[in-house]
Amino acid sequence: MKPNFITAVAITSLSIALNTPAYAQEKLGQGAGLIRVVGEGQILRSPDLAVVRLTVLRQAGEANQAVAASTEATRKLIAALVSMGINRDDMQSADFQISPRFDYTAKPDGMAPSSTIIGYDARNTLMVRVRKVTEVGNVLDVALKNGVNEGGAVDFLVEDIAAAVDEARKKAVSAAAKSAGTVAEASGLKLGPIVAIEDQPAATVFPYASIDARLRAASADGGVPVETGKNVVTARVAVSYLVAR
């Protein structure tokens, strides 16, 4: 797990005096100073939503044949997912590609291979939201048995991320207060009231134990082993305090 860390930075009162409220302006005029600290808060959350990307690849001599085969296989996949309880609203087409395949076989006479088109690839990618993360392995297994032959990447998410970020922010504010007290004490200053709080750039969420579950990871019995792990939610706040001797 990434350790929590807190940074504290002392800045001159002149550098932010114009942005402080009237009360702080008055105190600064009386000889008070300012310190600005940045606090970071982190919490662990179990993911409650998984997003799986599944790709159906079909090849044929003609482009329309490849597209038709890919379309048929994708419809079969969607029907299989619906039958196992996945809502259609939780499925979304994420990408479609049609591309030529070339013959790059080396020539016996040593000449460079030609770029002759020998067929076409049609890829249809479906993004599936799995609301029961314990079912991700089963979803991958069903996908494998119903035409998916590429992809399988899994992202584990926290659906109510706003609430998690709010909790991380509370920890960040507490961390900032602790850091400010340490800085003030070390500087021989008395810590005063807060005069400004600033939410730092967007809170971050990243996997604590991430997985890129590929279809080739399927075990011998056909099941796909998946571990959800934990997600780390991080928030940062910058807090400015008045200080005086």
User: What digits encode the pLDDT tens for the residues 103-118?
Assistant: 887 777 767 667 789 9
Provide the pLDDT for residue 22: 62
- Does this model's pTM top 0.85? My answer is no
Position 211 pLDDT exceeds 90: no
Q: Are strands 116-130 and 231-244 parallel, antiparallel or unpaired?
A: unpaired
Cβ pair 148, 218 in contact under 8 A: no
Asked whether the predicted pLDDT for residue 133 surpasses 50, the reply is: yes
Type of residue numbered 202: A
At residue 213, the pLDDT reads: 41
User: Could you report the per-residue pLDDT of 24-45, keeping only the tens digit for each?
Assistant: 555 554 546 788 899 999 999 9
- 186 CB contacts (<8 Å, ≥6 apart)? none
Please report the pLDDT score of residue 11 as a whole number: 30
Domains of the chain in sequence order? 7-45+161-205+231-244 (3.30.110.170), 49-157 (3.30.70.2970)
Name the nearest CA neighbour of 70 among 48, 93, 52: 93
Q: Using the structure block, give the residue that is written with the tokens 């013959």.
A: 103
> Residue 71: which pLDDT band, with cuts at 50, 70 and 90?
very high
pLDDT at 12: 28
pLDDT band at 181 (very low <50, low <70, confident <90, very high): very high
Please check the confidence at residue 18 and state whether its pLDDT lies above 60: no
